[in-house]
Amino acid sequence: MLTEYIDAMKPRPYWLPWEKVDGKPHTVNLLFGWTDDKRIRARAYDVLVWKPALFQAGVIPEPTKDVRGRRQYFSSRENGMHALRDYYASITLADGVNIEELAQYMGHGDAGFTLQLYTHMLRSSHERTRKAVDSRLSDLRKRQLDAHAGDGRRDD
């Protein structure tokens, strides 16, 4: 589905301040645009798309109204837009994307920064190491048993 979208809607260059509102200008290729064909503004997306979807899914309560009649959605770190970035990072890391690639995808200029943020999401190397050693030793044991099968010996 994403591949078809990318083929139909090629990423377009946008000139944006980097890291902060008055940051050094930086050109990036954005895949998704807003209804006015400009970049998606996080606050608008949060209020018009993300929070209504969370409400419809039963994740957050119904919005209240402020004194001007605007919808005010419940907000927390667990369900905010940043949670979507964290989810993206966690699923890509879990499926083997390396930290340098993730840094690039997340728009971080330094993979060390990305590693600091998401190191807790990396799969534990303890389990992978144990499985690797078990696999090699199991293979060795099988070869030993197969080699001795013809001479009637067992190395138990």
Residue range of the domain that includes 90: 41-149
Residues 29 and 96 in one domain: no
Per-residue pLDDT of the chain (156 residues; tens, 9 = 90+): 778 888 888 788 888 777 677 888 888 787 777 777 777 777 888 888 889 999 999 999 999 999 999 999 988 888 887 888 888 898 898 888 999 999 988 888 899 999 998 887 776 667 777 888 888 888 888 888 888 776 665 555
Q: Please state at what angle helix 99-106 crosses helix 81-94, rounded to 10 degrees.
A: 150
Residues 141 and 83 in one domain: yes
Residues 31 and 82 in one domain: no
Residues 63 and 139 in one domain: yes
Q: What is the rounded distance in angstroms from the CA atom of residue 51 to the CA atom of residue 57?
A: 10
Angle at 128 between CA 122 and CA 131, to 5 degrees: 165
The total domain count for the chain is 2
Residues 54 and 119 in one domain: yes
Tell me whether residue 156 is in a domain. no
Tell me whether residue 125 is in a domain. yes
Global confidence as pTM = 0.54
Tell me whether residue 142 is in a domain. yes
Residues 106 and 66 in one domain: yes
Tell me whether residue 77 is in a domain. yes
